[in-house]
Amino acid sequence: MAKLSLKDAQQTPLFTFDFPQRVYFEDTDAGGVVYHAQYVKFLERARTEWLRYLGFTNSELERKYKILFIVSEIAVEFVKPARLDDAINISVGIENLGRVRITFHQEIRRGEDILVKARVSVATVAASTFKPIEIPMDVRKKMEASC
């Protein structure tokens, strides 16, 4: 299986969901700069809010469809730092929608400045076994409509 690389990005998604976020003290290190692991949390929150925008919650997906979305690969490029009190925006766009796997192109920006670029591969698994399972058709249709 090919590894995710930011240099291999196919194209910028046609549709991008944007999620605004403020940088709080808890997100930073002693110097007031966002700690690197916090960016991964920001990316996750934006994907979760994108699902809400489509009309789904993670708990509903598990309860109704018996599925979970799990991150299987991530490639992150840190371009510039975010700092305490910055207003940032995290984008979510689908780069590739497979039967079981979704590859997202995500960016974190402060105004026009790109701070972080990421490609995140997410797999759909059965909640009970963690084995790969196809994305349910009605969920897929809403995802396709957002592309």
Tell me the pTM: 0.89
Q: How confident is the model at residue 2 (pLDDT cuts 50, 70, 90)?
A: very low
Residue ranges and CATH numbers for the domains of the chain are: 15-145 (3.10.129.10)
What pLDDT score was predicted for residue 31?
93
pLDDT tens track for 67-84? 999 999 999 999 999 999
Q: Which two tokens stand for residue 62?
A: 């598990």
Would you name the residues annotated as active-site residues?
29
What pLDDT score was predicted for residue 20?
97
Q: How confident is the model at residue 147 (pLDDT cuts 50, 70, 90)?
A: confident
pLDDT tens track for 90-146? 999 999 999 999 999 999 999 999 999 999 999 999 999 999 999 999 999 999 988
Q: Residue 129 contacts by C-beta under 8 Å, 6 or more apart in sequence? A: none
Contacts 24+ apart (CB under 8 A), 139-143: 139/54, 139/56, 139/61, 139/65, 140/97, 142/54, 142/55, 142/56, 143/54, 143/94, 143/97, 143/102
What pLDDT score was predicted for residue 15?
67
pLDDT tens track for 24-49? 999 999 999 999 999 999 999 999 99
What pLDDT score was predicted for residue 13?
56
